[in-house]
Structure 1
Amino acid sequence: FVTARAKAIGFGENDLSRIKIAVYEACLNAIQHTRKMNPGDKVVVEVESRARTLVVNVYDRGIGFDPDKTHDYDVTDAASHRKTGGMGLHIIRRAMDEVNYQMDTLNGNKLIMVKHLKN
């Protein structure tokens, strides 16, 4: 349903691929972290479309985090130390135009991803 909304706005195949990857990573992260705290809880994806903008919100009740304390992912360092994981937020930030995170341990966390249609 996310890509259908994005197509309706006019996004091309490259942007559609980026949006799909970002949403996949966001959901995967939310599921993994929600399962730790609240195994029965669901992850909710909400899509808003504006004139030339797609907004995807991912809600979860998992362990929150401070995105300002996350470091840029260093692919070279990860490869040399054979690290796995930790790329989700990096991928999301590279794929989308705006990424914001609201941590709320009482009502749930919200990841907001925005993609603007370029001319």
Structure 2
Amino acid sequence: MELRTIYITTKNEEESLRIGEALVTERLAACANILPKIKSIYRWQGRIEKDEESGLLLKTRADTVERLIARVKEMHGYTVPCVVSWKIEEGNPDYLDWIEKETSK
């Protein structure tokens, strides 16, 4: 089973908590870690922006990523939310089994 880490930025900690709780409740993610305050610098609509945001790290199965992204887009306040995924190559086998178990219905 292929597992993934998902990284999302949100406008604030409250939005991260709301999205993270929904995704764990719906079994689209096994775990959500909130990074309450991050500083972001990015280009948006031709301008350089500097903002405080919140970060969200999720662990899930690869076969849930498409549904997870669609769900985040439904709940997120941004027009183009950052939702990126990378493959989990290695880890504690017991923890990886737990991710699989918690995201299976």
Q: Specify the structure having the higher radius of gyration (Cα).
A: 1
Relative to its length, the structure with more strand (as a share) is 2
Q: Normalized against structure 1, the TM-score is what?
A: 0.38
Q: Normalized against structure 2, the TM-score is what?
A: 0.42
Name which structure has the greater RCO, CA cutoff 8 Å, separation 6+.
Answer: 2
Relative to its length, the structure with more helix (as a share) is 1
